[in-house]
Amino acid sequence: MTAAAPVRLGTRGSSLAMTQSGLVQRALEELLGAPVDLVRVRTDGDRLTGSLAALGGAGVFVAALREALLDGRCEVAVHSLKDLPTGSTEGLVIAAIPEREDPRDALCARDGLTLEELPPGSTIGTGSPRRAAQLLAARPDCTVVDIRGNVETRLRRVARAADQTGEAPPVVADGPSDAHPSAAPDALGDQPGTGAHGELHGTAAGGDLDAVVLAAAGLHRLHRLDVVTQYLDPALVAPAPGQGALAIECSAEVIAEGGPLARALAVLDHLPTRLAVTAERAVLERLEAGCAAPIGALGRVVGSRLRLDVVVCKADGTSQMRTSASVTLPDGRDAQVEAAAHLGRRVAEQLLDSGVATLAPVGPTAPPAPARRPLTGWRVLVPRGGEWGDRVVTLLAAQGADAEVVPLIEFAPPLELTMLDSALTGLALGIYDWVTITSGTTVPYLAARAPLHVGAASGETPDPAVALAALLGNVQVAAVGPGTAAALERIGVVADLVPAGERSARGLLAEFPPPPPDGGGQGLTARVLVPHSDLAEPTLAHGLREAGWQVDDVVAYRTLSGASAGNELREAVRSGAFDAVLLSSASTVTNLVELVGTPPEGMVVCCIGPRTELAALELGLPVHVIPESASAEGLVEALARYAQEVPRP
């Protein structure tokens, strides 16, 4: 690779990940004198829902980025170091660990409260078992709530301040100042703000939590230190191993070649930070504990010595074990790195000898016996085909069910295309700030018209997916849920917003940002494009207008009754051949009843949401299952829970 060749830098698509990767991008561009392009990669951690610990820990954010390195989609990738599993990946190396940000955790509480000042019974949100255990140890009279979502989503869950002045709360200075003198050098230092943010105090309707705990480093990089009410002393809440540090990973070949990229990465590597995190991660590796284990560790280089403090907690916070050790660093970089690793292993051995395994799941454990899948033996009717039907069949199979897809609805382009084409022209002209995609079905119908609005000057007709990706390239994209986000990703578009909570128009509205004042400083109207089905409720468009956005809502496709499945399906349903039916829209309800009548007693009727439930009840169908999340995943998960709780008919 030559210095002039573009370098592709892999990153997750979240705001924090993009901000962190942007710092590395600019540093590499300065060192290489060549462009560095960001390549957004969607990971399982971004796509899946539920407890982070249940998903396998923070390592779910890493695998897809490493695959992108190994298959050549990018030359380097940026990780939050605390997300990296301790095991190495063949062919890849952590080439640089830039200077660490503030490693502490930060409390963001209502009314400017500190941890000590929170009233008994207060609720504190975190997705980290480590934080949860230490918070419970410090405040056993509080309740810790498991949460997911990006930084802004978590902050919005904190209750409104008692006073409505809108002023930021005081910051409790119990250590380094807000300026963070330990922050990275200019190449990786502060960058301009990322735009207007909803304030934590005195703004939107009150949240459901009294406080959340987040990494101070992430808040600093996002320029959100205004929400911090207390930096938590590591002696009280020890940070995760590697917290506050970034890891720049690349193929071993890049380093072996010793070219400009390898030399640039060597410049970005900060030895004191590498030594500290090497010791911290060596503790995890020796204890054979994952990055979601309730273990905190902090290494610090002071003069010629490296000190390591470690805490291992019981998950409920009722007991913990702390230990510290230090080592004098020898001469030579490689010898120092090995000394740091040895220090971490030594501390881990001390913990094991002291019986730490009684507090936390450390050391080798036998894999649990596979559980019987809850839908084993069930036959499920899926009256909707296409990509959605295929996904449901896969999800049902994972739960043990056999599924049969019999499409009872079909889709078609709008009868009148003028408004849709006008909206796509607006996308090409850049008049929109956002476009919302509320169904995966929307994507192919937008793509079918996109070539008419791209490449006209050259006379070329681009591929529909490529054309739509080009139109969406300069606008922020919101997807109603992971399935819709996946449909976008297949054409090369990574959604900027996917609700962490309810996957519906209401859920999207709850997490949608407010319009920027004065059109973002350009004197323009903040504008959103909302393409949808002809049968879609106006909830999203109305809500966005009430929030101050100018909204263009257009019909992207029509929903039609599918072809009759005939007597064979009618007899199969009436004879009780199916144990359950999954109804994904009011149309599927109507068409099912028209075709087969009322399903027999004992057939479990599952409706994806309230509108579908209402249609079913109006036509006399009993409704047994409604998911909390209106998605394919939510529907199948809800049926699986029902099968576990209610004896099979």
CB distance 294 to 362 below 8 Å: no
pLDDT in tens, 111-137: 999 999 999 999 999 989 999 999 999
Cα→Cα distances 510→153, 157, 502, 514, 584, Å: 9, 11, 9, 10, 22
- Alpha-carbon distance 209 to 135, whole Å? 15
Residue 592 in 3-state DSSP? Answer: helix
pLDDT in tens, 59-104: 455 888 888 898 888 999 999 998 888 877 888 999 999 999 999 9
Instruction: State how beta strands 246-251 and 92-96 pair.
Output: antiparallel
CB distance 569 to 404 below 8 Å: no
CB distance 99 to 184 below 8 Å: yes
Both ends of the chain: CA-CA distance in Å? Answer: 65
Q: Where are the alpha helices (DSSP H) in 171-298?
A: 216-221, 252-257, 260-268, 271-287
Structure tokens given for 175: 């250590």
Q: Which residues on adjacent β-strands are paired with residue 249?
A: 77, 94
Query: What is the pLDDT confidence band of residue 364, given thresholds at 50, 70 and 90?
Result: low
CB distance 283 to 212 below 8 Å: no
Classify burial at 546, counting beta carbons within 10 Å of its beta carbon; exposed 0-12, middle 13-18, buried 19 or more.
exposed
26: left (phi over 0), alpha (psi -120 to 50) or beta: alpha
- Alpha-carbon distance 322 to 298, whole Å? 12
Amino acid occupying residue 48: L
pLDDT in tens, 581-609: 999 888 888 888 877 778 888 899 999 98
Cα→Cα distances 179→108, 155, 168, 183, 184, Å: 18, 22, 17, 8, 11
CB distance 182 to 245 below 8 Å: no
Phi, psi of 311 (to 5 degrees): -130, 140
The residue count of the chain comes to 649
pLDDT of 51 > 50? The answer is no
pLDDT at site 386: 77
- Alpha-carbon distance 290 to 79, whole Å? 16
- Alpha-carbon distance 20 to 26, whole Å? 10
In 485-576, at which residue ranges do the beta strands (DSSP E only) sit?
527-533, 550-561
Q: Where are the alpha helices (DSSP H) in 60-148?
A: 63-70, 129-138
pLDDT at site 117: 96
pLDDT at site 459: 57
Mean pLDDT value across residues 367-378: 68
- Alpha-carbon distance 609 to 626, whole Å? 6
pLDDT in tens, 472-489: 988 999 998 877 888 898
Query: What is the pLDDT confidence band of residue 371, given thresholds at 50, 70 and 90?
Result: low
Amino acid occupying residue 282: A
Q: 570: Cβ–Cβ under 8 A, 6 or more apart, which residues?
A: 595, 596
Maximum average pLDDT range among 276-290, 330-344, 632-646:
330-344
Closest to 501 (Cα-Cα) out of 626, 629, 636, 634: 629
Task: Report percent pLDDT > 70 for the chain.
Answer: 83
What mean pLDDT is reported for the chain? 82
pLDDT of 304 > 80? The answer is yes
3-state secondary structure 338-353: HHHHHHHHHHHHHHHH
pLDDT at site 337: 95
Query: What is the pLDDT confidence band of residue 362, given thresholds at 50, 70 and 90?
Result: confident
Residue 642 in 3-state DSSP? Answer: helix
For residue 256, count other CB atoms closer than 10 A to its CB. 10
- Alpha-carbon distance 369 to 213, whole Å? 35
- Alpha-carbon distance 68 to 91, whole Å? 12
Q: pTM for this one?
A: 0.53
Phi, psi of 404 (to 5 degrees): -125, 120
pLDDT at site 360: 84
pLDDT of 411 > 60? The answer is yes
Structure tokens given for 39: 């390549």
Task: Report percent pLDDT > 90 for the chain.
Answer: 49
Question: Which DSSP helix (H) or strand (E) runs through 379?
Answer: strand 379-382
Residue 209 in 3-state DSSP? Answer: strand
pLDDT at site 481: 81
CA dihedral (197, 203, 204, 208) positive or negative: positive
